[in-house]
Structure 1
């Protein structure tokens, strides 16, 4: 039976790469979504079906899920990919921006999940793949609010996996490291706009911004979005998907290092990385 895959946030980056990859999979019908369908018109040419979807709007979310269910009975697989980073220090970052980020990264993911689950339970099967981040396992300075949103995704995914298992629904968390998409530019922009240049955290913000720019440019530390798309495809199609997929060697090394060092030693490691920020 053909599985209908609904992917959020496919206008760029990981979502776009995933839609393109899955559209080539003969056993899947892919629904690519974005706020503006004109931004993903080319995905229709690649074989995906295009829907308007804003994960911060209830009516939009309901309409997208209902469109898939009208044709397939249920969403076979949901890829909760939509998200972005709101960067800045805890003291200085505008909380209106933080709320908007949580509406997309956390509440949008949660609501999309709520909407597809009744159909999946009725079918007795389904896949949910949440795109988290290595940033849900460790924290860098000037990124606390973004990391908090990804820690929330970790918690929701762990609860969801246990709750839905009796209904034949498999839940996986994909945790990418640094991926060469527009994410880095967006995050750097929010960081630059989060505080006055001469504020108390100016030095930290400058170092954090440079670290971010250098890391995303590094081919040793980052990877293209197609790397994540391949993992998402595996999580959807393999009979026994993993609970977690950490993506990129650098992310695996950092997550392992954070676990081994503990909080105090990892802080010392960060102080070395962020020299000049004090």
Structure 2
């Protein structure tokens, strides 16, 4: 039986690292991608193949897929995990930064899907896993550009699922809730830099405090819960279209579906500590 091959982007830490290890344990030949391959050395104990890849660089992505096909002759799983949160008031965030947020979180994922689909169609099998967020279904103040990317990736995934299914290719969305990674601290620091001294300073301080608080970190789920959901999805004969996992994801998405917008606004303001 041919060993199946997986590509995991953003594999140097957090969800990506946990996912790469989990897929390797499930018997996949795993290529772990990151901009800096030196940060992938810790995955050597799982025989994960390091791959230098920048999801904003087309040549880098094209070369990466060509290398995988050259080494294994196939690609069975793509996990689009690379991404970051660019926080700041919509008014304050420079458009160059907003565009870069979309390049990383949306266009990089879409381009990799374009590159793997011809091979998956030829195999008549494969799974593309797009990691969005509960932030692709709900919203928070000062996260507009980040939420915009996640809402966009949700919509793209739904369309791609319909397009790819006749060729035997599954498209799965993973919607993490709060996860214990370095993401929150980085987003908080960027938020303070962008909006900490503007008209939105009081909101920025409240949201940054929440993002970086120890209490919030303790509540968050470990990255392994996401890796386990991905492992379940890519080994299922008929995977679910969405897996909502991690702290707060299910109740918040349900509340957004259930409540009128202004009622949900009030919940988010209270949760983020914004008082006006």
TM-score range, shorter chain: over 0.9
In structure 2, stretches of 5+ residues that fail to align are none
Q: 1:116 to 1:249 in 2, by over 3 A?
A: same
Match of 1:81 in 2: 81
Match of 2:40 in 1: 40
Within a 5 Å distance, the mapping from 1:107-118 to structure 2 comes to 107-118=107-118
Q: 1:196 to 1:223 in 2, by over 3 A?
A: closer
- Match for residue 258 of structure 1 among 256, 259, 274: 256
Secondary structure of the corresponding residue to residue 10 of structure 1? coil
Q: 1:238 to 1:201 in 2, by over 3 A?
A: same
Contact 1:18 1:226 in 2 (8 A): yes
- Kindly provide the CA deviation profile for residues 15-39 of structure 1, in whole angstroms up to 9, marking residues without a partner as x: 011111111122x111111111111
Match of 2:208 in 1: 209
C-alpha separation in 2, matches of 1:77 and 1:275: 40
Measured after TM superposition, the shift of residue 216 of structure 1 is: 6.8
Q: 1:216 to 1:102 in 2, by over 3 A?
A: farther
Match of 1:166 in 2: 166
Query: RMSD of the TM alignment (CA)?
Result: 1.4
Within a 5 Å distance, the mapping from 1:49-198 to structure 2 comes to 49-197=49-197
Q: 1:120 to 1:275 in 2, by over 3 A?
A: closer
Q: 1:82 to 1:264 in 2, by over 3 A?
A: same
Contact 1:184 1:216 in 2 (8 A): no
C-alpha separation in 1, matches of 2:268 and 2:221: 22
C-alpha separation in 1, matches of 2:110 and 2:274: 39
Contact 1:9 1:82 in 2 (8 A): yes
Secondary structure of the corresponding residue to residue 146 of structure 2? helix
User: More displaced, 169-178 or 40-49?
Assistant: 40-49
Match of 2:229 in 1: 231
Match of 1:14 in 2: 15
C-alpha separation in 2, matches of 1:276 and 1:260: 22
TM-score w.r.t. structure 1 length?
Answer: 0.95
Measured after TM superposition, the shift of residue 217 of structure 1 is: 3.2
C-alpha separation in 2, matches of 1:11 and 1:23: 15
Secondary structure of the corresponding residue to residue 260 of structure 2? helix
Measured after TM superposition, the shift of residue 277 of structure 1 is: 4.0
Q: What is the aligned residue count? A: 275
Measured after TM superposition, the shift of residue 192 of structure 1 is: 0.8
C-alpha separation in 1, matches of 2:103 and 2:65: 18
User: More displaced, 5-14 or 43-52?
Assistant: 43-52
Secondary structure of the corresponding residue to residue 178 of structure 1? coil
User: More displaced, 66-75 or 129-138?
Assistant: 66-75
Contact 1:136 1:151 in 2 (8 A): yes
C-alpha separation in 1, matches of 2:117 and 2:34: 21
Match of 1:25 in 2: 26
